[in-house]
Structure 1
Amino acid sequence: MGFFETFVLAIVQGITEFLPISSSAHLILPSQVLGWQDQGLAFDVAVHFGTLLAVVWYYRAELQRMIAGFFTTGFTKTPNADAKLSWMVALATVPAVIFGLLGESFIEENLRSTTVIATTTIVFGVILGLSDRFKSHRNDLTEMTIALALAIGFAQALALIPGTSRSGITMTAALFLGFHRLDAARFSFLLSIPLILAASGLKTIELISADTLVDWGTLLLGVAISGISAWAGIHYFLQLVDRVGMLPFVIYRLLLGAVLFLFFV
């Protein structure tokens, strides 16, 4: 890939990874509109690693507290709030891992189409809007329970369907369960860390097994650009959603889904 393609795709991946608007829906547009070829496995690994660095850096202080709490009180009868949050993130990760292992081949063969992406972009955009508009958002993460964490985890498993948006569906579930918008977003972002880490690791193993020639300059550029854009996406998303809620992203999803149906289905 050339510099321009690398720059555009890394920015798209970085920004959309954590916004509730579906990165898969956006990554099909450059290839459809501009005729670009698939970016390849190595580039996927690079940009996902960049987004992982971004979210870890953004929440570095909280992650340090969670790790410390986990190893000091996590296995006691009275874990502190940080240890409890660590357990909730771990539990909420389990459903997506199980369904991912069981359903990956089916999804690859049957659901990776523009029609599916356009449909899920609209449907889950509407559901996001309903969760934001008609539920009270009073709970914070100290009120997270095993049942609530697993409910969000099972919702996250739906993100295996292209166009759903992992962050979108987890925020939607948390909002329906009564969590404050910022806490819904915070839990969603923390929940992304083990999954992105696992996905990047698996893709790295595939890349090594494939014995593919690697353009390290392009990959490093992809890491840097996706990381910076992902950090900015998280930062400004939290500011916006705290002021106006999810409505701008709901409207955007509906418009994007309509464009996909009109021009690419």
Structure 2
Amino acid sequence: MSWWEAVVLGLVQGLTEFIPVSSSGHLAVVGTLLGAQDPGAGFTAITQLGTELAVLIYFRRDIGRIIARWCQALAGRVPRDDPDARMGWLVILGSVPIVVLGLLFQDQIENTLRGFVVIGTTLWVFALLLGLADRFGRHERTLDRLTWKHGLLFGLAQAAALVPGVSRSGGTITMGLLLGYTREAAARYSFLLAVPAVVGSGFFQLFDELRGGAVVPWGATALATVVAFFVGYAVIAWLMRFITTHSYTVFVVYRLVAALAVYALVLAGLLPAFNDGYPG
């Protein structure tokens, strides 16, 4: 992987991680078109550490308060039903599905499910789901009304993003809208829920690559991660303002167009229909 390819892929990661369009799907497509092949699940997970650092900094006050109150509740210094302490438990609960399913289906995630027919299909299927949820959702629940059942459902939606093309933020935001949460509440919880899952996945993939002795372009990967951080931070700030006055329709339309583009590239022979031995 060349330096300029790393910059391009870092830009793609930063631009697509937080909007509901699937960063892993975009990295697979763009990486292949650049001639670098699908960058793989390992590259995706490591560069996501950059965008997740952007989340930690942007929501640092919320995250710091949640962690502090959760620890205080464990020590009995604040009530266990304290809203922030409760949010800490809800984030932990919502993180369980992606951890369990990620470990159970690691081989399929890193290989079989990275085919471009799969990516094209998940792009349009989840575009329709997001559109329906945004159109018919009640948009009235706030995060202080988040229940244990809803926390688990958010987690299951996040786990669906193990399949490229689904979108982690898209899956959790769609679930939130279906459950009646406001656009901002669904997005905010999506970002908070991603912290343990994405950070854990990134470091797991990092240690897995080191243990397996894989040849990894560490310099290019690090550059892509830094680029993804700065671009991702700007995207978070923009998205949180955008959704206060706009619907998710623009992302639904984009996903549908992207799905058609992927199918067209497959038919033109520029993308393989199925995984053909890409590095995981």
- TM-score, scaled relative to structure 2: 0.88
2:94–2:152 CA contact under 8 A, matched in 1: yes
Hey, what's the Cα distance between the residues in 1 that align with 2:154 and 2:42? 31
2:32–2:38 CA contact under 8 A, matched in 1: no
Deviation at 1:242, TM superposition (A): 1.5
1:13–1:23 CA contact under 8 A, matched in 2: yes
Hey, what's the Cα distance between the residues in 2 that align with 1:183 and 1:174? 8
Which amino acid in 1 is paired with 2:65? R
1:8 paired residue number: 8
Deviation at 1:204, TM superposition (A): 1.5
Which of 91, 94, 97 aligns to 2:96? It is 94
Which amino acid in 1 is paired with 2:212? A
Q: For 1:29-68, list aligned pairs within 5 A.
A: 29-39=29-39, 43-44=43-44, 46-68=46-68
Q: Give the alignment's Cα RMSD to 1 decimal.
A: 2.0
Hey, what's the Cα distance between the residues in 2 that align with 1:54 and 1:185? 15
Q: Percent identity?
A: 38
Number of residues paired by the alignment? 265
1:129 paired residue number: 131
Describe the SS at the equivalent of 2:105: helix
1:74–1:84 CA contact under 8 A, matched in 2: no
Describe the SS at the equivalent of 1:25: helix
Deviation at 1:218, TM superposition (A): 3.1
Pick closer, same or farther for the CA change 1:74–1:258 going to 2, 3 Å: farther
Hey, what's the Cα distance between the residues in 2 that align with 1:43 and 1:91? 27
Which amino acid in 2 is paired with 1:6? A
Hey, what's the Cα distance between the residues in 1 that align with 2:108 and 2:159? 14
Deviation at 1:160, TM superposition (A): 1.6
2:115 paired residue number: 113
Pick closer, same or farther for the CA change 1:238–1:148 going to 2, 3 Å: same
Deviation at 1:73, TM superposition (A): 2.0
Hey, what's the Cα distance between the residues in 2 that align with 1:74 and 1:255? 48
Hey, what's the Cα distance between the residues in 2 that align with 1:127 and 1:119? 13
Name whichever structure is richer in helix by fraction: 1
Pick closer, same or farther for the CA change 1:10–1:72 going to 2, 3 Å: same
1:141 paired residue number: 143
1:235 paired residue number: 237
Q: Which runs of 5+ in 2 are unaligned?
A: 268-280
Q: Which runs of 5+ in 1 are unaligned?
A: none
Deviation at 1:86, TM superposition (A): 0.8
